[in-house]
Amino acid sequence: MIVAGNWKMYPGPDPAALADKLAGVSGAEAIVCPPYTRLAACVAAGLTTFAQNVHWEHEGAFTGEISAPMLQSLGVTGAIVGHSERRQYFGETDEGVARRTKAALDAGLRVIACVGETQEERDAGETETVLRVQVGAIAAACGPHESLLLAYEPVWAIGTGRTATPAIAQEAHAIVKSVLDRPVLYGGSAKPENVEELFGETDVDGALVGGASLVVDTFAAICALAAAAGR
């Protein structure tokens, strides 16, 4: 099991305090994804640290972007790519997400590539098609690369307090894996109260946690539940 904390544009907890707390949890991998300004402090605290995005070029005139080698120079070992907030608010496309993913993997970073349907798409019965298209773009660019993780994050569950039921998550994860056979993390209002059931599903391989990753004890509790799932 893998539990990644996506701090989004929040300062997040004190990295040293978090590292201390996580030292008491074994049996699950914990990853933190802080904002750029806190990457170095998380690395220094000994946390496995991913960025929240990465560009496909090594350098160039791309204002506001960051490259894989730049992240690696800080000791960062991976990146989230294609988060729905990037797709929704910053116009990221399946093609761009695939390019970012491939470049990051080629550079030696690990990647958590995110996919997921909106409420409208689910209501229209388009969930499977949407997932197949989103995952298909990544699959075409990279195949089942050993450093690639996927995250199923239904957009309607992100930051809303509405979590997918274990059955909904399982069904979606199975679709994702049928296109690209890599571990799939669940994301969307994951918290200690609901992850145990989700981790009981065969194709749920961990969690990508937003809000609940901002509090040391809560994030550590989710990591402990992942470890208790025993795989």
Nearest by Cα to 79 from 4, 25, 19, 18: 4
Do the Cβ atoms of 160 and 168 come closer than 8 Å?
Answer: no
Minimum CB distance to ligand PGA smaller for 50 or for 56: 50
Q: Interior CA angle at 85 toward 195 and 1, to 5°?
A: 30
Among 190, 195, 198, 216, binds ligand PGA (CB under 6 A): 190
Among 82, 116, 206, 211, binds ligand PGA (CB under 6 A): 211
Angstrom distance (rounded) from CA 24 to CA 33:
20
CB of 209 to ligand PGA, least distance (A): 5
Q: Is 83 a catalytic residue?
A: yes
Pick one of 15, 116, 188, 206: the residue that binds ligand PGA (CB under 6 A). Answer: 188
* Only segment of 12-20, 48-56, 139-147, 202-210 that touches ligand PGA (CB under 6 A): 202-210
Binding of ligand PGA by 208 (CB under 6 A): yes
Classify the C-alpha dihedral 72-211-13-18 as positive or negative.
negative
Query: CB neighbours of 81 closer than 8 A, spacing ≥ 6?
Result: 53, 54, 97, 100, 101, 104, 111, 112, 113, 114
Q: Which of 55, 83, 145, 173 is catalytic?
A: 83
The label of the residue with tokens 């969930």 reads: 127
The label of the residue with tokens 């990051």 reads 104
Q: Which is nearer to ligand PGA, 15 or 188 (CB)?
A: 188
Q: CB nearest ligand PGA: which residue?
A: 210
Q: Is 6 in the site for ligand PGA (CB under 6 A)?
A: yes
Shortest Cβ 75–ligand PGA spacing (Å) = 23
**Beta carbons within 8 Å of 107's beta carbon, 6+ residues apart:** 58, 67, 68, 69, 72
Distance in Å, CB of 83 to ligand PGA, minimum: 6
Write out the binding residues for ligand PGA, residues 144-183 only, by CB under 6 A.
153, 158-159
Give the containing element (helix H, strand E) for 85.
Answer: helix 84-90
User: Which residue among 92, 153, 173, 201 is the active-site one?
Assistant: 153
Question: In 3D, which of 174, 85, 182, 188 has the Cα closest to residue 131?
Answer: 174
Query: Under rule CB under 6 A, how many of the chain's residues touch ligand PGA?
Result: 13
Q: Is 153 a catalytic residue?
A: yes
Q: Is 52 in the site for ligand PGA (CB under 6 A)?
A: no
Catalytic annotation, residues: 83, 153
Give residues in contact with ligand PGA (CB under 6 A): 6, 153, 158-159, 187-190, 208-212
